[in-house]
Amino acid sequence: MNWKSGAATGLRQGGLWLGFALFMAVVALNAPAFLSPGNLLDVLRQVSVTGTIALGVTFVVIAGRLDLSVGSGLTLLTIIVVDQHNHAGPAGAIALTLVAGLAIGAWNGLLVGFLRFNALIVTLAMLSVLQGFALWYSGGSNVSVASPGWFAVLGRGGWFGIPVPVVLMLLAAGLAAFLLKRTAFGRAVFAVGGNETAALYSGISPARTVFVAYLLSGFATALGAIIMGSRVMGAQSTIGQGYELNVLAGIILGGTSLLGGAGSIWRTLWGVLMLGFIQNGLILMGFPFYAQWLVTWGVIIAAVWIDLAAKRGRMFA
């Protein structure tokens, strides 16, 4: 290994973490409240929706595909769970939302997995379609929960001092990590993302694997919508706007390759958490809200460049 490839590997593995540590130190010096227990719990609660959705999308990205529809999916599914809470009760609303999330994932999986359409085009189109459905379903008006009851616990409650949304996210992460690392399906996801042709000749069905990955993405988005609806007790037609960018940024920050074949559930959560602390730190230091979008864009570009350059051995070309 020459010095260039060694430096590339080192930068890919530790560069972002070092940059994040320096950022945390700078913010902590300028905003003492940044590392307070209250603020740390607030950040965890804020990233719970993004983190939950990212768990499902991680399967899609490792399989070598993308899902850009999760932002609009979150909007539609949050409207559904909030509206149906007033008609079918909390249990019925949650069940309907999960079924709707699976239906969205199944449609994406059918088009991308079995019909082999381009994932970027399909999910970008679904982003628009789902946003349209959200506007049609809600009539462009805000919806709210009339009588919260136990439904409020899912987004606002606490368990031994830990926000319930964080507990739910960690439980989902544990199940997702087991599925990815300890099952035949998880190994198939890595195989399809790493080399789809080789996976096919090994007896793995890429179409079925991609289909199930999108099912998990839709299901995770529905879980995120349930947490979101419980947290805000309402929904509007823009509630999920931009979440697809935050989800993708967190996954990339966690080291999952856009080329497929590599990634980790727990590293995805670390990536989402890093992004959450970056956005929170910018606010505490007095930066305007739009600075979060600029920094998120920069983080995505840097992470993708490091990943692609390190894999191709052209970091310093």
Question: What CATH number corresponds to the domain at position 243?
Answer: 1.10.3470
Residue with the two structure tokens 């999108």: 214
DSSP character for 37? H
CB under 8 Å to 193, separation ≥6 — which residues? Answer: 61, 62, 63, 64, 259, 260, 261, 262
- What number of other Cβ atoms are within 10 A of residue 224's Cβ? 32
- What pLDDT was estimated at residue 98? 97
pLDDT of residue 300 exceeding 90:
no
pLDDT of residue 313 exceeding 60:
no
Which pLDDT band, with edges at 50, 70 and 90, does 164 fall under?
Answer: very high
Q: Is residue 3 part of a domain?
A: no
What is the mean predicted confidence (pLDDT) over 83-103? Answer: 94
Q: How buried is residue 46: exposed, middle or buried, by Cβ count under 10 Å (0-12/13-18/19+)?
A: middle
- Residue 235's DSSP bridge partners are 143
What is the mean predicted confidence (pLDDT) over 171-182? Answer: 96
| Between 260 and 315, the higher pLDDT residue | 260
Distance CA 189, CA 294 (A): 32
Q: pLDDT (tens digit, 9 = 90+) per residue, 131-153?
A: 999 999 988 888 888 888 889 99
Distance CA 295, CA 240 (A): 19
Q: pLDDT (tens digit, 9 = 90+) per residue, 217-260?
A: 999 999 999 999 999 998 888 899 889 988 998 998 888 888 88
Q: Are the CB atoms for 188 and 209 separated by under 8 Å? A: yes
Q: Is residue 2 part of a domain?
A: no
- What pLDDT was estimated at residue 149? 84
- What pLDDT was estimated at residue 9? 52
CB under 8 Å to 190, separation ≥6 — which residues? Answer: 62, 261, 262
Q: Is residue 8 part of a domain?
A: no
Q: Is residue 5 part of a domain?
A: no
| Between 299 and 246, the higher pLDDT residue | 246
Q: Is residue 269 part of a domain?
A: yes
Please list the helix, strand and coil fractions of the chain in percent, rounded to the nearest 5, in that order. 80, 5, 20
> CA neighbours within 13 Å on the CB side: how many for 201?
3
How many residues does the structure list for the chain? 317
Q: What percent of the chain has pLDDT over 70?
A: 91
Low-confidence winner among 200-209, 228-237, 289-298, 303-312 (lowest mean pLDDT): 303-312
| Between 156 and 8, the higher pLDDT residue | 156
Q: Is residue 317 part of a domain?
A: no
Which pLDDT band, with edges at 50, 70 and 90, does 282 fall under?
Answer: confident
The secondary element (H helix, E strand) that includes residue 234 is strand 234-235
In the chain, how many domains are there? 1
Find the radius of gyration of the CA atoms of the chain.
Answer: 20
Q: Is residue 6 part of a domain?
A: no
Q: Is residue 91 part of a domain?
A: yes
Tell me the residue ranges of DSSP E strands in 73-214: 143-144, 158-159, 162-163
Q: pLDDT (tens digit, 9 = 90+) per residue, 197-210?
A: 999 999 999 999 99
Report residue 284 CA to chain centroid gap: 24
Flag whether the pTM goes above 0.85. Answer: yes
What are the b/e assignments for 14-30, b being 16+ CB within 10 Å?
A: ebbeeebeebbeebeee
Q: pLDDT (tens digit, 9 = 90+) per residue, 42-91?
A: 999 999 999 999 999 999 999 999 999 999 999 999 999 999 998 889 99
CB under 8 Å to 233, separation ≥6 — which residues? Answer: 82, 144, 145, 148, 152, 155
Single out the residue of 45, 43, 35 nearest to residue 163, CA to CA: 45
Which pLDDT band, with edges at 50, 70 and 90, does 264 fall under?
Answer: very high
Distance CA 218, CA 101 (A): 5
| Domain coverage including residue 173 | 13-312
95-98 contacts at long range (C-beta below 8 A, 24 or more positions apart): 97/222, 97/225, 97/226, 98/219, 98/222, 98/223, 98/226
Distance CA 294, CA 121 (A): 24
